[in-house]
Every structure is written in C-alpha cells, then in structure tokens.
Structure 1
Amino acid sequence: MNATDRTPAATLRSALAADPARPLLTFYDDATGERVELSVATFDNWVAKTANYLQSDLAAEPGDTASLLLPAHWLTAVWLLACSSVGVVADVAGDPAGADLVVTGPDELERARTCKGERVALSLRPLGGRFPQPPQGFADYAAEVPGHGDRFTALAPVDPDEPALRVAGRELTGAQVVQEARADAGRLGLTAGSRLLSTRPYDSWEGLSAGLLAPLTTGGSVVLVRHAEHLDAEALERRRTDERVTHSAS
C-alpha cells in the first residue's frame, strides 16, 4: 500500500490501483449460512455507490456524524469506507439521538428512531437483499443504493486530521486510523498477501482493525466471521484451511 495514504478511503484507492482483482473481504454468517466474497474492485464499487448515496440523497457533508448501529458484516465495512470517502464521522454503536444520520440493522430499529436526521435501515439479508416490508420512517438501503454511480468524487476535500471514527469511547482522525491500523498489522505480522480470519465483533477498535483496517493497509485480506459460536473447533479449523488463512484474531 502507499505509505502516504492518510485516510482509510485513500488506502482503498491504493489497493484498487495495485490489484483490483485480489480478494479483500470474505464474509461468513454462520447463523444463516451466508458466504460473500468481495474483491477489491467489487468492494470499491459498493463503497462508491454508498458514498454517492451518502453525499447526494442524504446530503451528508464532512464533519457530519453517522451513528452506525450495525454488527460485524461486509456491509458495515462498506459503510465505514463510504463515511471516510465523504468525510463523515463513523460513530460505531454511537448514540443516534445526537447524530446527523443513523444507519441501522433490523435489531436496532427502535433505538435508531431517536435520530432526528436521516434514517437508513439495512436488512442484512443474504446478498444485500431488501426488507420484505421497509421499516416505517427508514429508507431501505438495498432499494436506494443500486441506482448510484460506481465512481465517487467528493464535493469537498476530506481532511485526514479531522475526526473520522468513534468507537468504544475513542475518537480518531483519518490519519490516526491508518497509522494505528498499520501498527496493528505489524504486531499481527501481516504483510502483502496475508489472509486474516477474524471472529471479533465490530464494537471495538480491535475488532474493526482485525476485521478490516489492518489487512487493508498491508495489501492483505480478511475472512470476517459472524456468529462463530455456531462452529466447533474442527469446523473453524476447516474454515481456516479452506480459506487459506495465514493469521487469526478472536
């Protein structure tokens, strides 16, 4: 990756330029049997569409705050990078009442209703499917985002020294996110081509770093496993073998 990258979105752009076809994120939900594999190019496409939706339809601007009430999921990773692309602060599990907008899964709808700004709901169904019936008071992400362009240009420059992420009581700038993710990658021994399996939730820095950011900064990839409690030790070891995992975080 480019050593001069100072935001997660810039790191993704460098990954796209280096090798768009390589795997970036493989997601398993062992409660539903879902498996999704995203190359750098496919992930970037989702990020661009989401960033365009965020900037245009939701009228988000740099410095706005998005409360992300979402689990460890491939679409959560997309939203984290979309927020970075626009300059919106991603407040993971943050109070929606004080946010400019909220993005929620189906389990947090009532809490999300306290947001006075825009409200977006994700069904988290396999393949990014729509809600059978959209929740009242929310835009259905899966219905809204497909029409947006797969190239994104920010209307205002994103300052890497401004707040970009809040998680578990910590606030980090875009530059700090990249710096700390690189440091974590070093501690984990990640290099280009490393494949990290993470069963950690996304409610802490450690979970976000292992489950997305550290592999992204090093040219590696992540196997993100939700509901790993459904797997016994033998099944998890088989997963590591099948997915050619080189490193693990749990």
Structure 2
Amino acid sequence: MNATDRTPADLLRSALAADPARPLLTYYDDATGERVELSVATFANWVAKTANLLQGELSAEPGERVALLLPAHWQTAVWLLACSSAGVVADIGGDPAAADHVVAGPGRFEDGLACGGDRIALSLAPLGRRFPAPPAGYADYAVEVPSQGDRFAPYAPVDPEATALIVAGAAYTGAETVEQARSDAAGLDLTGPGSRILSALPYDTWEGLSAGLYAPLATGGSVVLCHHLDRLAEDRLAQRIDSERVTATAR
C-alpha cells in the first residue's frame, strides 16, 4: 500500500494496481455452507458498480449518510468501500430516520422504512440472488447493480478529512480510518503482503471492521470473513485455517 493513501478507496485503488488477481476477501456462511472468494479485481468491480448506483441512481452527495443495516458479509464490505469512493458516510447500524439513504438486509427491512430517502434491499442469499419480489418500499440491489458502470469517478474529489464512517457511535474520517487500520495491523499479526486473517467478529464495532476489512486492506493482506462460525466444529475450523493459508485469527 502507498503511504499517500488517505481513504479506504485509495487503499483499494493501490491494491488493484499492485496485484488485481490476488484474493482479497473470502466469505463463509456456516449456516448455509456458502463460500465466496473475491479477488481484488472482482471486489473493485463490485465497489465501482455500487458507487455508481449511489452517485448516479440514488443521487447521493458527499456528506450524506447511508445507514447500513447489514451483518458482516462480503456485500457489506462492498458497500463500505463504495461509500468511501463516493464520499458519503457509511453509518453501520445507524438510525434510518436520521439517514439520507438506507441499505438493509433480512431482519432489518421494517426498521429501514423509517428512512425517508432511497432504500436498497439485499437478500444476502448465496450468489447474491434476487428477491422473488423485493420488500415493500425497497429496490432490489441485485436488480439495480448489474447494469451500473464498471468504472467509477466521483463528481468531486473525496475529502479525506471529512467524516467517512460511523460505527458504535464513533465517527472516523477517511484518513482516520486508514491510520487506525494501519495502527491495528501489528496487534492483529498482519505483517504485510501475504498476511491472511480469519475474522469471525461482527461489523458493528471498529474492532470487527478493522479485522474483517480495513486492516488487511491497509497492509496488502486478505481476510477470510466467517459468519456463524460457532456452527463449525473445531476440527473443521483447523482444516479451514490450513486450507485457506490463514496466518492470523480474530474471533
């Protein structure tokens, strides 16, 4: 990663320039058996499409707040980086009534209706499947995102000193997000390129976001993000750690 990177979106651009083919995020759901592996290039493509959806279709402007009512999931990570790319604030679990837009997953659709702005629903089903019919009051992410452009350019440069993230009541600028992620890396045993952390932490705390996305991104590493890991037997976990070449864990 480059010392000049000031936002999470900058980190992703640097990762794409350095090695687009390497794995960046591998997602497991041990309730469904789902496994999804995203290279840097594939992840960046999802981010670009989602940022174009935000900026173009939702008309989200820098500084507006997007309430993300989502668990730790690969599509949540995409939305976090898309928000950074467009200069909008990603508010993890934030109050929908105080947000300009809301992105919600199963179990949170009713809560999200409190938002008076645009509402996007994610099925979080394997392979990112569409809803048979989207929840009332929502557009289906899986319907809206495929037609978006594969490259993204913000209408205005993103200010690294502007608020970019709110989690557990704490606000971080883009620069603070990058700096804190870099600072966390040593404590997470992320030593640089090739480091691979398995994280089962939720995304509703800074610690979960750092281990499960920002710190590996900031150090040229990768993450194995596990949902419902408590359903996996210890011997199977050991096999996963070995097969995925995991070098560190956060549980």
Aligned pairs for 1:17-166 (under 5 A) are 17-166=17-166
Mapped to 2, the partners of 1:156 and 1:138 lie a distance apart of 28
Query: Which runs of structure 2 are paired with 1:168-207 in the superposition (5 Å)?
Result: 168-190=168-190, 191-207=192-208
Deviations 1:204-249 (A, max 9, x none): 0000000010000011000000011111211111110111100000
Instruction: Report the Cα offset of residue 156 of structure 1.
Output: 1.2
Distance 2:129 2:189 in 1: 36
Deviations 1:81-111 (A, max 9, x none): 0000000000000000000000000210000
Q: Distance in 1 between matches of 2:106 and 2:57?
A: 21
Note the aligned Cα RMSD (angstroms): 0.6
Deviates more, 1:232-241 or 1:54-63: 232-241
Residue identity (%):
68
Question: Which amino acid in 2 is paired with 1:117?
Answer: G
Aligned to 2:218: 217
SS across alignment from 1:207: helix
2:238 is aligned with what amino acid?
Answer: E
1:189 and 1:236 mapped to 2: Cα distance? 19
Please state how far the C-alpha of 1:50 moved relative to its aligned partner: 0.2
TM-score, length-scaled by structure 1: 0.99
SS in 2 for 1:68: strand
Q: Distance in 1 between matches of 2:25 and 2:189?
A: 18
Task: Give 1:241's aligned residue.
Answer: 242
Residues matched between the structures, number: 250
Structure 1 position 189, deviation (Å): 2.5
Match of 1:25, as an amino acid? L
Deviations 1:126-169 (A, max 9, x none): 11111111111100000000000110000011100000000001
Residue 186 of structure 1 and its aligned partner are, at CA, apart by 2.1
Q: Name the aligned partner's letter for residue 241 of structure 1.
A: D
**3-state SS of 2:107 partner:** helix
Distance between the aligned counterparts of 2:139 and 2:19, measured in 1? 34
Gaps of 5+ in 1: none
Question: Quick one: distance in 2 between partners of 1:188 and 1:124?
Answer: 28
SS of the residue 2:108 aligns to: helix
1:197 aligned counterpart, secondary structure: strand
Gaps of 5+ in 2: none
CA–CA distance in 2 between the matches of 1:27 and 1:47? 16
Aligned mates of 1:133, 1:80 — CA distance in 2: 25
4+ long deviations beyond 3 Å:
none
What is the TM-score of this pair, normalised by structure 2? 0.99
SS in 2 for 1:186: helix
> What secondary structure, in the 3-state scheme, does the structure 2 residue paired with 1:151 have?
coil
Alignment partner of 1:231 is 2:240: no
Give the Cα–Cα distance (whole angstroms) in 2 for the partners of residues 185 and 44 of structure 1: 22
What amino acid does structure 2 have at the position aligned with 1:220?
A: G
Following the alignment from structure 1 to structure 2, what is the Cα–Cα distance between the partners of residues 14 and 169? 29
Whole-Å Cα distance in 1 between the matches of residues 67 and 163 of structure 2?
14
